[in-house]
Structure 1
Amino acid sequence: MAKRARPAAKRGRSASRLPKVPSGELRTLLDFVRYAVSRFVEAKLVFAHGTTDPVAEAAFLVCETLHLHPDQFETFATAQVTAREAKAILEVIARRVATRKPAAYLVNKIYLRGLPFHVDERVIVPRSFIGELLDSHFSGDSDEEGASLLGDPASVENVLDLCTGSGCLAILASRSFPNARIDAVDISSGALEVAARNVAEYGLEDRVKLYRGDLFGPIGGERYDLIISNPPYVDAEGMAALPRECRAEPKLAFDGGADGLDVVRRILDEAAGHLTPQGGLLCEIGRGREWLEAAFPQLPLLWLDTEDSEGEVFWIGVADL
């Protein structure tokens, strides 16, 4: 989307209100994180895009500006930065406050399960719980109760990722199921351009195939051992209350209709026709569990929890669909 002159002017005025920092006052990575946290809290920013609090987001932005992996922050926390680096860090902090864009858009990167992915305004910022669930419930190495819902991961031959966005879940699925081909579908041509970049960066062009279209439309009669999806699921009330940060993301990736289930209903209605006899559906729906169970009381949905979520992702085998 083209930028308009009026908002740009507003951003400039907001940025100028940040306190001036004389050269040398902030020296270490930790100093800049503390400064960023103070500015973020003061500006009442919202954190829902890969980081959940101002400290984590500040550390993320500082590390990305310095070309460090977030896991390296503790190693270099007390290291001093150069004057040029300090200027770049202060600029990105000011942009985060002034624009209220998700931090991932400012640095064009987000991490999921420790892996970096390119993102920009063409895609929603990835923060799905499905990546964690692939590790905890579909990995042959996991000892957790309910793990390996599909049996041996090496036996999975094909996976479908609906509403793939940046392609991150398709790429994570390729790692969880080493012998599988992955088909990934999205209705947005812009999102698929981002997904293609990520697929290429991981060298997966021969295993991950991208399709443009509406849900199952582009894949014809293909059947899969696993369908995964993080579809639009925000209801009308939630859409009206989206914070400014989320409004920077594509509306198409959020809007699930009046009750948030418009797309989920279609997936449930059609999934059985695209699953193999041993297959199943893994789908994220946010906080719509009550609505979904009321709409489909006959379905024995298995709700899978993660470290940071409860009852936001369900699994159902083809036999129960």
Structure 2
Amino acid sequence: MALPFTTVRDLLRFGVSRFTQAGLSFGHGSTNAYDEAAYLILHTLHLPLDTLDPFLDARLLDDEIDAVMKVIERRAKERVPAAYITQEAWMHGRRFYVDERVIVPRSFIGELLQDGLQPYVADPDQVTRVLELCTGSGCLAILAAHAFENADVDAVDISPDALAVARRNVDDYGLEERVSLYEGDLYAPLPSTRYEVIITNPPYVNAQAMQALPEEYRHEPELALAGGADGMDVVRRIVRDAGKWLTEDGVLVVEIGNERPNVEAALGGLDLVWLSTSAGDDNVFLIQAADLPA
């Protein structure tokens, strides 16, 4: 039986109702059922993602309605993040290719890179070398290359699958000459050098929180999320060795989600600077090179 839908407005209403009925979790680019439905509908119909109103009452072809319904049902039944359905994620106006080999990009460090980490980096134009650990899709490395226009960026991940996605994104942005990808465990694969800036959004979810993750997050690689009993297994190692890789006036910037109490317990005694983002003051910390362990 044909569905009684003829317009984008019809599909949008149905999508919101379907997603709400299914009890979906959001946080992979959208924060609510309306925005998620609008994004998936516009993407599926090859319409501008920032222009909904002019198309709300456009009458659709049967095959267009069918295509949108399949996407809505996949999101509702399989609880796959929307970014895996569309194979794209957006950060600060830039599009990145993603698939199930990487977590969906959503780092607050991207916000901080918009002004080149000032005032903690005095002059972004003077930065010559940047390192990103746990690069995943490569999005932060690419944003760093744009923030620090005179810098070469090294990006590391332990997953060859993730690096294949990162390579695609680096190539898409034409940054092959400035962004170098390394496979290995944190600092291990790097050539001997020093960086003015190290950024990282490492695995930091503690074991208890991993057990409570919504189904959407279980589609993402566990390797990129799980940080051990207190979430700090990788964070401790990054901070412990960062002083060997930073210049004297360099900075380390680490994203840790909702794990601030575990960070402060694990890194007690270090002078942590908590940076303000759209999520508040508890998601990203910075350490100056001079304040790192010897």
Superposed pair shares fold, TM > 0.5 = yes
**Residue identity opposite 1:87 in structure 2:** D
Distance in 1 separating the partners of 2:219 and 2:28: 11
1:303 and 1:137, CA in 2 relative to 1: closer, same or farther beyond 3 A?
A: farther
**Residue identity opposite 1:95 in structure 2:** R
Distance in 2 separating the partners of 1:305 and 1:30: 38
Among residues 178, 184, 188, which one is paired with 2:149 in the alignment?
178
TM-fit CA distance, 1:58: 0.8
What TM-score comes out, normalization by structure 2 length?
0.95
Aligned runs of 1:4-15 on 2, under 5 Å?
none
Query: Paired residue for 1:17?
Result: none
**Residue identity opposite 2:235 in structure 1:** V
**Residue identity opposite 1:156 in structure 2:** V
Among residues 282, 288, 305, which one is paired with 2:259 in the alignment?
288
Distance in 2 separating the partners of 1:253 and 1:295: 20
Query: Paired residue for 1:41?
Result: 20
TM-fit CA distance, 1:75: 4.5
Query: Paired residue for 1:131?
Result: 110
Q: Judging by fraction of residues, say which structure has more helix.
A: 1
Aligned runs of 1:1-321 on 2, under 5 Å?
22=3, 25-136=4-115, 138=117, 147-321=118-292
Query: Paired residue for 1:13?
Result: none
**CA displacement, residues 75-105 of structure 1 (integer Å, 9 cap, x when unaligned):** 4344333322221111100111121111111
* Aligned-residue identity in percent: 52
Query: Paired residue for 1:10?
Result: none
**CA displacement, residues 219-250 of structure 1 (integer Å, 9 cap, x when unaligned):** 14221110000000000101111111111110
TM-fit CA distance, 1:297: 2.2
TM-fit CA distance, 1:295: 2.1
**CA displacement, residues 161-204 of structure 1 (integer Å, 9 cap, x when unaligned):** 10000001011111111111110000000000000001111111
What TM-score comes out, normalization by structure 1 length?
0.87
**Residue identity opposite 1:150 in structure 2:** V
**CA displacement, residues 117-169 of structure 1 (integer Å, 9 cap, x when unaligned):** 1111100111111101111562xxxxxxxx33211111111110100000010
Tell me if the contact between 1:129 and 1:309 (Cα under 8 Å) persists in the aligned partners: no
Distance in 1 separating the partners of 2:120 and 2:238: 20
**Residue identity opposite 2:87 in structure 1:** N
Tell me if the contact between 1:158 and 1:180 (Cα under 8 Å) persists in the aligned partners: yes
Tell me if the contact between 2:116 and 2:124 (Cα under 8 Å) persists in the aligned partners: no
